[in-house]
Amino acid sequence: MVQDNLAVEQHPVVVIGAGPSGSIASAILQRKGHQVLVIERQEFPRFVIGESLLSHCLDFIEEAGMLEAVRNAGLQIKHGAAFGWGERYTEFDFRETYTPGMGSTYQVRRAGFDKLLADQAQAQGVEIRYQEEIVAVDNSSGKPLLTVRRIADDSQYQIQAEFMLDASGYGRVLPRLLDLELPSALPVRKAVFTHVRDCIDDPQFNREKILITTHPEMRDVWYWSIPFSDGYCSLGVVALEERFDDRPEDLETCLREFVSEAPNLKRIFKHAIWDQPMRTLGGYSANVKTLHGSGFALLGNAAEFLDPVFSSGVTIAMRSSSMAANLLDRQLRGETVDWETEFAKPLKVGVETFRTYVEGWYDTSFQDVIYYENPQPEVKRMLCSILAGYAWDETNPYVADSRRRLAVLAELCRMQSQ
């Protein structure tokens, strides 16, 4: 409802959140001739987790006109993913995939990376208002009416929009305000993490790959090691919440204890300097009743977040941004579009593919495949495509028929390993 005491602005498109999905969506729409306003609760740069990009991300960065700036930013090149479990070690090279696409990507400090993308969107004409938040949404008329609070002085105003895209990530603004939230079917897990000055001199450690390590005994516990170009490394452990019950309450002591239990990490980080704040995040998996409705669509983590294990979150966010922006462009030009068949269903193809391999990681079926010592090269290329983010390529049998294919492959790997 329009409040008499509040100023009301008119904007055709409002994007909630200036992170990667918001910046990508707003830039694509701006490049197509639409005026876009972005509302962002925080001031940039700000810390956020999710630092290892997949190759597919660069397709959308290029679409948004930002690829040259990203390539000139001095970021850590990433060519793939490495996996370690005890003495076992295997690598997947994103330059050797079944699906054609970008062969390399980057590992990034998200604070600077997200600001880079937001600045690039602004340079193309997108208006971003920082330190403002959406506190109410009236969607009853079919044209969203948003109430916005300025954090600096607690004043409010309203925006009448034609359409809104929620790119608020973990903030999940529209799911909260429009009662769209659903509990995730995935178990509740927790991450403890930091950045360390890594001082790595281990010749096996490849700075051009993320390293994912499986705990030697508890195979549902895993670690990430993401090197940056400045000599630091993002280091974290992920486990079910109950795995932390008998661990030290002090986060640094807790993480150091977990790291000491993984022989490869104990060796790799033996000289590391722990000089950055410790952080924790729990209960991050989420779901929603719908990805779209009258006057809105949900992007990336604002809609659904699976798990950080394969760095799929930013890829899903950027893919959803591109899909939604191109669909909204058509709608704003007067075309009739079907958000369910043209956005929700095709987006879920990749989400469900990632879900197959996330669940397979935790039930160890996918781990059995990853750590199998004699993989067939063509199968490895197909799986590498998914790890590189190309989870929507239904010409890939491990996308089109992911659950059955993974189950059969895992059983074959187990049998041949005996």
Condensed to tens digits (0 to 9), the pLDDT of residues 226-257 reads 999 999 999 999 999 999 999 999 999 999 99
pLDDT at 395: 98
pLDDT at 183: 84
Same domain for 245 and 374, yes or no, is no
Q: Over 80: is that where the pLDDT of 1 sits? A: no
Same domain for 306 and 387, yes or no, is no
Percent helix, strand and coil across the chain, each rounded to 5?
Answer: 35, 25, 40
Query: pLDDT higher for 396 or 308?
Result: 396
Quote the percentage of the chain above a pLDDT of 70: 99
CATH number, domain of 206, equals: 3.30.9.100
Q: Are 363 and 66 a contacting pair, CB within 8 Å?
A: no
Same domain for 174 and 320, yes or no, is yes
Same domain for 219 and 262, yes or no, is yes
- Please state whether beta strands 105-107 and 76-78 pair in parallel, antiparallel, or not at all (unpaired): antiparallel
* Mean pLDDT within 266-276: 97
Q: Who contacts 163 (Cβ-Cβ below 8 Å, separation ≥6)?
A: 12, 13, 14, 144, 295, 296, 297, 328, 331, 332
Same domain for 132 and 110, yes or no, is yes
* pLDDT confidence bin for 205, thresholds 50/70/90: very high
Residue 82 placed within a domain: no
Q: Over 70: is that where the pLDDT of 271 sits? A: yes
* pLDDT confidence bin for 301, thresholds 50/70/90: confident
> Which residue, of 349, 376, 394, is where some domain finishes?
349
- 46: part of which helix (H) or strand (E)? none
In tens, the pLDDT along 181-203 reads: 988 888 889 999 999 999 999 99
In tens, the pLDDT along 107-141 reads: 999 999 999 999 999 999 999 999 999 999 999 88
> Which residue, of 258, 282, 306, is where some domain finishes?
282
In tens, the pLDDT along 145-162 reads: 999 999 999 999 999 999
Range(s) of the domain holding residue 401: 361-417
Same domain for 39 and 134, yes or no, is yes
Q: Over 90: is that where the pLDDT of 358 sits? A: yes
**What does the block give as tokens for 25?**
């969506």
Radius of gyration over every alpha carbon of the chain, rounded to an integer in angstroms: 22
Same domain for 198 and 290, yes or no, is no
Query: From CA 109, how far away is CA 234, in angstroms rounded?
Result: 9
Length of the chain in terms of residues written: 418
Cis peptide before 45 (omega within 30 of 0): yes
Residue 81 placed within a domain: no
Same domain for 289 and 270, yes or no, is no
Same domain for 46 and 72, yes or no, is yes
Nearest CA to 274 out of 311, 309, 236, 229 is that of 236
Query: From CA 386, how far away is CA 346, in angstroms rounded?
Result: 16
Residue 16 placed within a domain: yes
- Of 94-98, 277-281, 286-290, the poorest mean pLDDT is in 286-290
Q: Which residues pair with 135 in a beta bridge?
A: none
Residue 86 placed within a domain: no
Same domain for 335 and 366, yes or no, is no
Same domain for 29 and 110, yes or no, is yes
The number of folded domains in the chain is 3
**What does the block give as tokens for 301?**
């983590």
Residue 408 placed within a domain: yes
Same domain for 166 and 41, yes or no, is yes
Residue 147 placed within a domain: yes
pLDDT at 341: 98
Collapsed DSSP state (helix, strand, coil) of residue 256: helix
Query: From CA 321, how far away is CA 316, in angstroms rounded?
Result: 8
Q: Who contacts 60 (Cβ-Cβ below 8 Å, separation ≥6)?
A: 24, 318, 319, 321, 322
pLDDT at 2: 65
> Which residue, of 349, 369, 390, is where some domain finishes?
349
Mean residue pLDDT across the chain: 95
* Mean pLDDT within 407-417: 94
Q: Over 90: is that where the pLDDT of 282 sits? A: no
**What does the block give as tokens for 280?**
């924790």
